[in-house]
Structure 1
Amino acid sequence: MAYDAAAIAAYFDALGLSEWERFDRTLGDRVSLAMHTALLERYVRPRHRILEVGAGPGRFTELLHGLGSRVVVADLSARQLELNREAARGRGFASSVEAWHQLDICDLGPFDATSFDGVVAFGGPFSYVFERRDTALAECVRVLRPGGYLLLSVMSLWGTLHRHRAAVRDMPRAAIRTIIATGDLTAETDPTSKHYCHMYRATELRTFLKKEGLTVEHLSASSALTTGVENEFITAPEQWEALLEYEAVACVEPGYLDAGTHLLAAVRRDSLAA
């Protein structure tokens, strides 16, 4: 399937505020938010200038504000940008946002080379660009300073199929075979869905990110023990802290990398040669 920027923008326009709420629905979703947050806390420092691509309504923009960074917000969806601005004003993180841009990750032309300390592309921008993912990666690397990090997450093939196994059960076997073979969720493989994306295996993502001048420093699942756990909740703080401790260990285990709905990665730009 070819990348269709207009269709992706329309899809996220329609999702609206549910993009903020999706991290609160299940225990596995809450763990995923915590794993994404931990990656930000590991690599983002106060006063870092961060480009957040595919920022959505601002869930991670607010976290970047809390880490003391300066954020340039970008999204393909006009509606998601509007929600981000509203959240920034209403929740008090507008002071950390330099600007809001409606743009495509495949064309970061408004920004100079080496102008950011970090690029954040959470939630799957690299899953939506299909055959243009090399262009998207090159653009993110271009705007990174040497030594800066690209922090990203993409949809995971096996973790997503596990999470949505009830829907998989009802799909034609030929369609599932194609999805497993290609990683592509398209109108041909699932005519009932408008959510078209490429879902990665961990080995595929690592290979894709291994470019000259880049170092993959971190690769993990977004959750492992709790993927697909729908009706269990933890309210005791000590139990929640213990769960996150176990998840952090499990998510980087080679046998668990494909277990989460998303794969997370941190990639360092080593030199100007990239």
Structure 2
Amino acid sequence: MVVELIYFNMSVEYCNGEESSMNSIVKNYYNDNAELEWNRLGNPYTNIEFRSSMYLIEKYFPETGYILDIGSGPGRYSLELLKKGYKLSLLDISNNELDIARDKIKEAGLSSEGYHCKSALELDSFEDESFDGILLMGPLYHLHEEKDRMKVLKDTYRILKKDGVGLISYINTWGALKAGVSEFPEIFENIEYFQKYVNGDLKLSCLEGFTESYFTIPSLALAEVKKAGFKIVSYAGVESFLSGLKAQINELYKNMPEVYENFMASAVKCCEMPQYRDATEHIHIIVKKR
């Protein structure tokens, strides 16, 4: 389950359908935008997120083993890990996303161990210490309550093997503030919004964001992850020094493709540098089970 920072006002009907829980709202959003999710990471700007994420996986994950992709979406990362020879299962709240993942994996001549259509809050069926690595990239974007985020984190810790590695993602309000200059400047007509983004711990309804969502800041995200028992190995800002430069990157891709590639390669290598990682839209925390 991966998202680009897209802000728009969705209809009240979409937000207040027959089911009103956050899970149903988020599930409806991803079911309705399943194909968009597959295509999203392929554009010139968001591709830096994909490349940086793969760089971190290749750098920190074990070379072999059983991986659980929690919030797998249409399987962009799952497919790449299967190509590398990992044993892997996918879990996502959206059945439409999983259908795309199943088709893409089959087209590649590969197979997964399982497709689980459920919320990240429903990890109870997985046995303790079942996985060598876990991707948790997306579910925490949508949980307003700390108790819910902690349940997901503690279950992730429980089902990860000792010394297993996880990649845990949050959306960062500091980076979103930069993106807001070009993507959603109208909300800052109210100057109080600036402080809200600086403070983090931001709970957005589906009328305020792309769907019901939770944005925070690096220090709060790191504290939650530590509270769940994980050892933090590293963390990265996956947009690196290109964060907030969507229009410029798109132009560079179109007019100077070789220079674009040089910027992308350099940004990936710099994604863990302290001067960049705290001010990007997405932060990835690399953890290990003690």
Would you call these one fold, judging by a TM-score over 0.5?
yes
Query: Residue 235 and residue 56 in structure 1: after superposition, are their counterparts in 2 closer, same or farther (change >3 A)?
Result: same
| Map 1:92-111 → 2, pairs under 5 A | 92-94=109-111, 97-111=112-126
Question: Which of 198, 218, 221 is the equivalent residue of 2:237?
Answer: 221
1:141 aligns with 2:163: no
1:250-269 residue pairs with structure 2 within 5 A?
Answer: 250-269=270-289
1:23 positional shift: 1.2
The answer to whether structure 1 residue 53 and structure 2 residue 70 are counterparts is yes
Give TM-score, length-normalised by structure 2.
Answer: 0.82
Name the count of aligned residue pairs: 261
> Gaps (5+ residues) in structure 1?
none
d(CA) in 1 for partners of 2:142 and 2:277?
21
2:53 is the counterpart of 1:36:
yes
CA shift, 1:246, in A, is: 2.8
Alignment match of 2:29 (pick from 11, 18, 32): 11
Unpaired runs of 5+ residues, structure 2, are 1-19
Mapping 1:188-199, distance limit 5 Å: 191=207, 193-199=209-215
Partner of residue 126, structure 1: 140
- Classify 1:7/1:156 alpha carbon distance in 2 versus 1 (closer, same or farther; 3 Å): same
> Match for residue 75 of structure 1?
92
Corresponding residue SS for 1:57: coil
After superposition, the Cα gap between the structure-2 partners of 1:176 and 1:198, relative to the gap in structure 1 and judged at 3 Å, is: same
Structure 1 contact 159–262 (Cα < 8 Å) conserved = yes
Partners of 1:182 and 1:56 in 2: CA distance = 25
Code of the residue aligned with 2:239 in structure 1: it is S
Aligned match for 1:25, one of 18, 43, 57: 43
Amino acid at match of 2:287: V
Describe the shift of the 1:18–1:150 C-alpha distance in structure 2 as closer, same or farther (beyond 3 A): same
- Mapped partners of 2:30, 2:115: distance in 1: 16
Q: How does 1:173-188 map to 2 (within 5 A)?
A: 173=190, 174-187=192-205
State the shift of 1:213 in Å. Answer: 4.2
TM score, norm. by length of structure 1 = 0.86
CA deviations 1:59-110 (Å, max 9, x no partner) are 001111122111111001111111111111123332xx10100112122122
Deviations 1:149-180 (A, max 9, x none): 11122212121221232344211414554454
Quote the Cα distance in structure 2 between the aligned partners of 1:260 and 1:196. 20
What residue in structure 2 maps to residue 164 of structure 1?
180
Q: Please, which moves more after superposition, 211-220 or 81-90?
A: 211-220
Q: What SS is found at the alignment partner of 1:114?
A: coil
- SS of 1:56's equivalent in the other structure is coil
Which residue, 225, 238, 244 being the options, matches 1:209?
A: 225
| Greater CA drift, 37-46 or 138-147 | 37-46
Q: 1: distance between equivalents of 2:103 and 2:201? A: 35
